[in-house]
């Protein structure tokens, strides 16, 4: 079980609809604002991406019966974090992860389109606002006097993270694969989780944040280039992971 350096050199995120990754603060008449960088442009924080990918990986772990680990409540998480595939990638209480998730920023084409005058911080048309009403889920009705205004990014924006992820990861080779290149359980789950993410930010139940993440052709593991498709071809073998952990010391 080697500890290897890992790098995902690039991720492209195509957001088809409006997206709301909130700051938690209001501004003027807008009750819920979206995150922006120092340059005034919207972006996708690495932490937001990591959280969505972890949720996707937890769903896959449940599908392939890799054990129950119900984050973020410590008392409901796996007792042995070293054997939990999700915890090994993303960390757990008392066991951090060395993987660093980078923010995704607007592509150059979109920056040029939204900011025709580079020296100005203002960006034309990158966000819109919507006035919404809070819903009472118990009654199934709109709540009285509960109007609020939310800020969303414009539709159709494209973001890139380069590099997208760097760090070190303990890798478990898939023993059933012989002579066709190294395949690792952690890498299969991580890449499949990235492919599974379909929304980012809040308001997905209202149709916000629909997106597609495009992976690079290769990732770097221990200084070697590994084909992404070759890892994903073995996703059906994830259910063998519990047997691998039983034989390991």
Helix (H) or strand (E) holding 44: strand 43-44
Closest CA to 63 of 173, 192, 174: 192
Region 155-164: mean pLDDT is 96
Report pLDDT for 247. 47
Cα 54 from Cα 90, distance rounded (Å): 7
Report pLDDT for 249. 42
Report pLDDT for 81. 55
Crossing angle (nearest 10°) for helices 46-63 and 185-196: 110
Domain-wise residue ranges, the chain: 3-23+34-122+158-247
Average pLDDT, the chain: 87
Residue 173 burial (C-beta neighbours within 10 Å; 0-12, 13-18, 19+): middle
Give me the phi and psi of 228, to 5 degrees please: -65, -45
Kindly report, residue by residue over 23-39, the tens digit of the pLDDT.
Answer: 989 898 898 899 999 88
Indicate if the pLDDT at residue 50 is higher than 70.
yes
């Amino acid at each position: 079980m080697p500890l290897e350096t890992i790098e995902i050199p690039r991720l492209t995120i195509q957001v088809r609809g409006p997206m709301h990754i909130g700051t938690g603060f209001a501004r003027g008449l807008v009750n819920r604002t979206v995150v922006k960088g120092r340059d005034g442009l919207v972006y996708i924080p690495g932490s937001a991406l990591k959280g969505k990918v972890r949720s996707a990986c937890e769903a896959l772990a449940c599908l392939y019966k890799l054990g129950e680990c119900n984050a973020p409540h410590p008392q409901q998480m796996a007792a042995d974090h070293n054997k939990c595939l999700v915890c090994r990638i993303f960390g757990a209480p008392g066991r951090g992860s060395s993987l660093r998730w980078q923010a995704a920023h607007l592509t150059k084409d979109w920056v040029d389109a939204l900011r025709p005058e580079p020296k100005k911080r203002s960006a034309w048309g990158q966000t819109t606002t919507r006035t919404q009403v809070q819903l009472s889920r118990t009654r199934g009705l709109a709540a009285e006097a509960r109007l609020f205004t939310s800020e969303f990014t414009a539709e159709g924006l494209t973001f890139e993270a380069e590099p997208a992820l760097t760090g070190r990861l303990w890798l478990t080779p898939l023993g059933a694969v012989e002579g066709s290149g190294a395949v690792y359980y952690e890498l299969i789950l991580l890449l499949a989780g990235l492919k599974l993410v379909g929304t980012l930010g809040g308001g997905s139940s209202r149709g916000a944040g629909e997106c597609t993440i495009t992976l690079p052709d290769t990732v770097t593991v221990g200084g070697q280039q590994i084909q992404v498709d070759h890892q994903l071809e073995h996703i059906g073998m994830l259910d063998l992971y519990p047997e691998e952990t039983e034989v390991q010391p």
